[in-house]
Amino acid sequence: MAHTGAKPLWGGRFSASPEGELELFGASLPFDQRLWKEDIRGSKAHAQMLGAQGIISEQDVTDILRGLDEIYAQIEAGEIVFDASEDEDIHMAVERRLTELIGEAGGRLHTGRSRNDQVALDFRMACRSFAEELQHAITELQSVLLRRAEEEFGTVMPGYTHLQLAQPILLSQHLLTYFWQLSRDFERSAAAYTAADACPLGSAALAGTTYPLDRNMTAEALGFSSVMPNSLDAVSDRDFACDLVYACMMCQLHLSRICEELVIWSSTEFGFIEMDDSHATGSSIMPQKKNPDFAELVRGKTGRVVGDLVSLATTIKGIPLAYDKDLQEDKEPVFDAIDTLIGSLHAVRGMIDTMAIRHERLEEASRKGYMAATDLADYLVGQGMPFREAHGVVGRIVADCVSEGIELQDLSLDELRSYSAQFDEGALDALDIAKIVERRVSYGGTGNEAVRVQLTEAKQQLTQQLGRME
């Protein structure tokens, strides 16, 4: 795009304009050029509305649409290279090029419009697209989690609290935990879409315009469900951006928790999984190493997305109505948050999809740590002993096992009866890990039947989400 040497599009009032480092400091083109498709689409809808309202001629509309289509093709083909030393932002870049192509008609495109409502429009359209992209990426990861949960049905693993062995659970239930977390993330991204789905175009700088605009026409043409009813709010609102970045942050936090477990599970000490070679790296000095680098990166990048929300909220917190230049700083946190999260979702999907489950280690670990203690106490309760007394009896049994270096399953019935005469043959069943899992029959629990119900509900949830995206 050639430099014309002309004043900025707002330069009539000014005898001088920012130059050099100050000009570049004030430019948003290096990052808002990402909105070029939205800018052209919004400009086409605005031009068509102006023509329909008789504000500009049909010939002007024809020329403007032709010019915008040509610019679209040139940008897509890489024939236009944006330069912040020539244009402050994407809106000025497109309008300048349009005027070069079609002459005076290009200058009429901005009738009844300000960059304030123009940028709000472009940003809302982009955030809607980001929310849709996020929903697709979330459901792709959910699909993998659901498939692996079905494949691993019946596989028992240790459950933890405080990262200490607690009770045995089904691996399927553990994987489904991630599924339901992501379902909430799907709902947050859907809500972020709804928040952005109101059209600000036609609000002009802040007070509306004297031209007889048809705001409903442009809103409908651009697929918005409503028109923003207050022009001051329309140009200054960035709640929708905060909603999207908050949705990104929560999803990234969930991915970080997943990756923390993948890192732990793939360690030699745990050995529950092995990361596929395609999702791990080696060491430049230690030939034996297989590092879960991508899981660590997802975990590490979480700080960026948390920071994006803090950055955006801090930018907005003290801005008086209506538009202020501070709002130029609203886009980079959104772009960074969505890019980071989409990349993280793809990485985690690949790791879950390809990781190898080491069933022998899971089985071995499930028989350690005295995880049958609760069921043994429950057994005594079933025999008529008050729970607190039963808790104390089993606590003494565990303490003695720890001192002798044995597990609960190593005890004979006679040894159990030495602690309480209320133990009988059924006590041995209370120590059986597979039966312990099966006995968790409550809705949402880890028992086989309860997890079967949950798998069915997860399939229904995923089907519903996919239907909403069609």
Domain-embedded: residue 445:
yes
pLDDT at 17: 67
Does the pLDDT at position 18 exceed 80?
A: no
Whether residue 146 sits in one domain with residue 56:
no
Whether residue 283 sits in one domain with residue 373:
no
**Domain's final residue, options 365, 400, 434:** 365
- Summarize pLDDT for 273-290 with one digit per residue, the tens: 999 999 988 888 888 889
Give 169's strand partners: 157
Q: Maximum distance among all alpha carbons in the chain? A: 100
As a 3-state breakdown, the chain gives helix, strand, coil percent values, each rounded to 5, of 65, 5, 30
DSSP H or E stretch at residue 385: none
Domain-embedded: residue 294:
yes
Name the residue among 43, 41, 133 with its Cα closest to residue 335.
133
Domain-embedded: residue 459:
no
Domain-embedded: residue 141:
yes
**Lowest-confidence segment of 1-5, 57-61, 210-214 by average pLDDT:** 1-5
Looking up tokens 């290009």, which residue turns up?
A: 106
Q: Express as a percent the part of the chain with pLDDT over 90.
A: 87
- Summarize pLDDT for 148-162 with one digit per residue, the tens: 999 999 999 999 999
pLDDT at 3: 41
Give the Cα separation of 51 and 46 in Å (integer).
Answer: 9
Among residues 225, 226, 267, 283, the one annotated as catalytic is 283
Domain-embedded: residue 277:
yes
pLDDT at 2: 39
What is the average pLDDT across 115-128? 97
- The CATH code of the domain that includes 435 is 1.10.40.30
pLDDT at 177: 98
Residue-averaged pLDDT of the chain: 94
Assign 4 a pLDDT band (cuts: 50, 70, 90). very low
Whether residue 150 sits in one domain with residue 47:
no
Whether residue 242 sits in one domain with residue 349:
yes
Give the Cα separation of 165 and 370 in Å (integer).
Answer: 8
- The CATH code of the domain that includes 95 is 1.10.275.10
- The CATH code of the domain that includes 264 is 1.20.200.10
Whether residue 45 sits in one domain with residue 179:
no
Concatenate the DSSP letters of all residues of 70-121 into one string.
HHHHHHHTT-----TTT-SSHHHHHHHHHHHHHTHHHHHTTTT--HHHHHHH
Whether residue 320 sits in one domain with residue 411:
no
Assign 12 a pLDDT band (cuts: 50, 70, 90). low
Domain-embedded: residue 65:
yes
- Summarize pLDDT for 365-388 with one digit per residue, the tens: 999 989 999 999 999 999 999 999
Assign 137 a pLDDT band (cuts: 50, 70, 90). very high
Whether residue 400 sits in one domain with residue 379:
yes
What is the average pLDDT across 430-441? 92
Assign 8 a pLDDT band (cuts: 50, 70, 90). low
* CB 9 within 8 Å of CB 95: yes
Is residue 267 annotated as part of the catalytic site, yes or no?
A: no
Domain-embedded: residue 467:
no
Domain-embedded: residue 220:
no
Whether residue 124 sits in one domain with residue 87:
no
- Summarize pLDDT for 307-364 with one digit per residue, the tens: 999 999 999 999 999 999 999 999 999 999 999 999 999 999 999 999 999 999 999 9
**Domain's final residue, options 365, 395, 415:** 365
Give the Cα separation of 410 and 408 in Å (integer).
Answer: 5
Alpha helices, DSSP H, located in 355-386? 359-366, 373-382
Does the pLDDT at position 19 exceed 80?
A: no
Whether residue 124 sits in one domain with residue 106:
no
Whether residue 144 sits in one domain with residue 99:
no
Whether residue 68 sits in one domain with residue 182:
no
Give the Cα separation of 144 and 355 in Å (integer).
Answer: 11
Give the Cα separation of 27 and 84 in Å (integer).
Answer: 6
pLDDT at 342: 98
Q: Rounded to the nearest 10 degrees, how much is the dihedral formed by the CA atoms of 370, 372, 373, 374?
A: 140
| Domain count across the chain | 3
pLDDT at 13: 66
Does the pLDDT at position 21 exceed 90?
A: no
Whether residue 86 sits in one domain with residue 44:
yes
Q: Express as a percent the part of the chain with pLDDT over 70.
A: 96
Is residue 403 annotated as part of the catalytic site, yes or no?
A: no
How far from 208 is each of 129, 228, 229, 233, CA to CA, in Å? 27, 12, 11, 11
Among residues 162, 284, 403, 442, the one annotated as catalytic is 162
What is the extent of the structural domain holding 29?
11-111
The pTM of the full predicted model, rounded to 2 decimals, is 0.91
